[in-house]
Amino acid sequence: MRALLQRVSSARVEVAGEIVGQIDRGLLVLLGVAREDSVADAERLARRTLELRIFPDDDKPMNRSLVDVDGELLVVSQFTLCADTRRGRRPGFSTAAPPEQAEPLYEHFVACCREAGATTATGRFGADMQVHLVNDGPVTLLLD
């Protein structure tokens, strides 16, 4: 499981021109699920996402977590994060989980974040989405 985290001052996701998820200050999480991923992986990644210290305080530019700053999450499914780009010019997706496996793990990740108290918005799994964001910093990190 991979999560591309972008610290944002705002973000939203649209499907067919309709805003389906929107946040202010927080993290945009692009989440990719691989074939070998499990419920335990989703739980561990959710915890790491919420606890990662990438927000500023008065002392350091990256000293506080999303929980510390009462930030919000926007979680968007992104199977292309599991692409194999080692050969050729076209990415392969054989390592990405099929939708029937990926969607429950994506939903479990979201549920873990919500259960931990994080305000969490989402995109729409499997939809053609337009993601708009204002990257703060810019700060972009890959967790896997």
Q: What is the pLDDT of residues 103-125, one digit of tens each?
A: 999 999 999 999 999 999 999 99
Name 88's bridge partners.
none
Active site residue 80: yes
The fold of the 2-133 domain, in CATH, is: D-tyrosyl-trna(Tyr) Deacylase; Chain: A; (3.50.80)
> Looking at 40-44, 52-56, 86-90, which range is the least confident one?
86-90
Give which of 141, 137, 130, 136 is closest to 8, Cα–Cα.
Answer: 136
**pLDDT mean over 19-47:** 98
**Given 80, 85, 95, 130, the catalytic residue:** 80
**Given 55, 79, 109, 125, the catalytic residue:** 79
Active site residue 140: no
The predicted pLDDT at position 119 comes to 98
The predicted pLDDT at position 109 comes to 98
Active site residue 101: no
**Given 6, 49, 55, 78, the catalytic residue:** 78
